[in-house]
Structure 1
Amino acid sequence: MLSIDGVTDLWDQLFGAQPDPPGMLVLLTAVAGFLAVAIRPVWRVARNAVTIAHEGGHALFALLTGRKLRGIRLEFDTSGLTLSAGRPTGFGMILTLLGGYIAPSLVGLLGAWLLGGNRITLLLWLAVVLLLLMLINIRNLFGAISLLVTGAIVFAVSWYAEPDVQAAFAYAGVWFLLFGGIRPVFELQNLRSRGRMRDSDPDQLARLTHLPALFWVTVFLAVNVAALLAGAFLLAGQWILTLTT
């Protein structure tokens, strides 16, 4: 059992603020996050993290609107599927469909807010908790392995790595989600323009709301670009202001 001192140390480690990272670390991790999205072979692998956030967004909004979560699948080709039960129309279904494409960017924005307060360890542990909660609802083997491996990597960094390594890992991950939330929207519209993915999230939203699917694609893009700009300011804004004053 943990002693009182041990609990106090753990609490301080989890909720305490870490030192400000070097400005160069913020810049280099931003470049790394962007390149992971821009370079196609890297993106094909790294996109799994975006898919996890995407399907997690569907699941979270389904639960928040009173729908019953039936399960989540993550596939080897980086696609995914989240099934929920409830009314096939209405506000809950709209929010559930809306939550997928904006979730990676919103998770990245939340991460940027935590890093802006130097809560690096808290961010990493929160990521582990969220991955474990998703694991409970996974319904295929690859999805379970993907979440276990991702969670194990994040936990190992949070528990064993030195503070500077934790900072680099956390910043790179958050930058990746902020950049990575935008590319799938363009990929989606590219497929739609070629007559594919007729049951995509924006097409389902169009049928529910009688607003064009392109309107919903634009909403996804606007939200994700706004999240990127806000997240970039939280991560690098103060450092840039320091350099210019």
Structure 2
Amino acid sequence: MSGADIAGFVGERFFATGDLTRPTLAACVAVAALAVGLDPVWRRLRYLVTTVHELGHVVVGWFVGRSIQSVHLNHDTSGLTVTRGRPTGPGIFFLYVAGYPAPAVSGFVILYAVIYRHAGWAMAVLLALLLVCLALVRNAFGAVVVVAQLLLFGGIWVWNQATVLAGTLTLAGSVLALGGVRAGIDLVSSQRRRRSATSDAAILGRQTHLGATVWAYGFLALSLVLVALSAALLYVQSASLS
């Protein structure tokens, strides 16, 4: 295969628009809502949500000048990102704020990209972030989780079937958006029972003296706002789909 052939192959995938129809959109959102609502399925999907949660810490950590040491993804669907830098100040504050909103933010961005026919770029960015996560993961189970996601999304991207690409991203974006809300609800429940002293909300509660429960509700509220924006985007644009 020549260099021109390789460039064309990659270019086709970066600039793939996807082929999203109204029935596909409705089916993906319905399946995502059902999956996130069913506990046995949610426990599996939570690994994707946790991966994006930790990537939120990683990306914001880099922006605020912290050194990212490692990422762990655990069997119980929890995660941990270890960074190095000042223990106080705005950098560490934004680092802990970044995790819980990350899935809902990512869900909105992915859905926006699919609706506006940038599915190829959206998948490429998702794969790049998963590769970053794989480079930072320091436990075997976490590596397996990230590799499984890379194989799934990478295979869809390379295959480059328009309807499958758009449907996969719509499903993933909907799962992340709704999963961010479900994770926020779980966090509120946990903090109200005072079960976790090491969650992002608990740490921010101690740093700001607002309390963990206030932060937990704040994360949930932000995720709900982002889901509402995603729903509005899908509703407005669905009229233009065949």
User: What TM-score results when the alignment is normalised by the length of structure 1?
Assistant: 0.92
1:216-227 aligned at under 5 Å gives the runs: 216-227=215-226
1:39-58 aligned at under 5 Å gives the runs: 39-58=38-57
How far the C-alpha of 1:242 sits from its partner, in A, is 7.6
User: Which shows bigger deviation, 230-239 or 184-193?
Assistant: 230-239
How far the C-alpha of 1:41 sits from its partner, in A, is 0.4
Corresponding residue of 2:7: 7
CA distance in 2, matches of 1:166, 1:125: 11
Corresponding residue of 1:95: 94
CA distance in 2, matches of 1:189, 1:13: 40
How far the C-alpha of 1:241 sits from its partner, in A, is 7.4
CA distance in 1, matches of 2:9, 2:145: 31
Report if aligned partners of 1:18, 1:119 keep a CA contact under 8 Å in 2.
yes
How far the C-alpha of 1:17 sits from its partner, in A, is 2.8
Corresponding residue of 1:68: 67
Corresponding residue of 1:212: 211
CA distance in 2, matches of 1:241, 1:161: 23
Report if aligned partners of 1:29, 1:168 keep a CA contact under 8 Å in 2.
yes
CA distance in 2, matches of 1:192, 1:204: 11
How far the C-alpha of 1:121 sits from its partner, in A, is 1.9
CA distance in 2, matches of 1:154, 1:11: 17
CA distance in 1, matches of 2:2, 2:109: 31
Whichever residue aligns with residue 66 of structure 1, its letter is: G
* Sequence identity (%): 29
Report if aligned partners of 1:26, 1:236 keep a CA contact under 8 Å in 2.
no
How far the C-alpha of 1:214 sits from its partner, in A, is 2.4
User: What's the secondary structure of 2:100's corresponding residue?
Assistant: helix
**Structure 1 pair 104–94 and aligned structure 2 pair: CA distance change class (3 A):** same
Corresponding residue of 1:133: 132
Moved over 4 A (4+): 240-243
Whichever residue aligns with residue 183 of structure 1, its letter is: R
**Structure 1 pair 154–242 and aligned structure 2 pair: CA distance change class (3 A):** closer
Corresponding residue of 1:17: 17
CA distance in 2, matches of 1:18, 1:46: 23
User: What's the secondary structure of 1:84's corresponding residue?
Assistant: strand
Gaps of 5+ in 1: none
1:213-234 CA-partner distances (Å, limit 9, x unpaired)? 2221222112111111112233
Whichever residue aligns with residue 198 of structure 1, its letter is: A
Whichever residue aligns with residue 59 of structure 1, its letter is: V
How far the C-alpha of 1:208 sits from its partner, in A, is 1.2
Gaps of 5+ in 2: none
Corresponding residue of 1:77: 76
Report if aligned partners of 1:62, 1:92 keep a CA contact under 8 Å in 2.
yes
Residue 26 of structure 2 is aligned to residue 27 of structure 1: yes
Whichever residue aligns with residue 111 of structure 2, its letter is: A
CA distance in 2, matches of 1:118, 1:242: 12
CA distance in 1, matches of 2:241, 2:153: 31
CA distance in 2, matches of 1:242, 1:119: 15
1:51-103 CA-partner distances (Å, limit 9, x unpaired)? 00111111111111111111000011111111111111110111010111111
Corresponding residue of 2:149: 150
Aligned length: 242
Whichever residue aligns with residue 56 of structure 2, its letter is: G
CA distance in 2, matches of 1:223, 1:2: 48
Report if aligned partners of 1:115, 1:235 keep a CA contact under 8 Å in 2.
no
Corresponding residue of 1:179: 178
User: What TM-score results when the alignment is normalised by the length of structure 2?
Assistant: 0.93
Whichever residue aligns with residue 74 of structure 1, its letter is: L
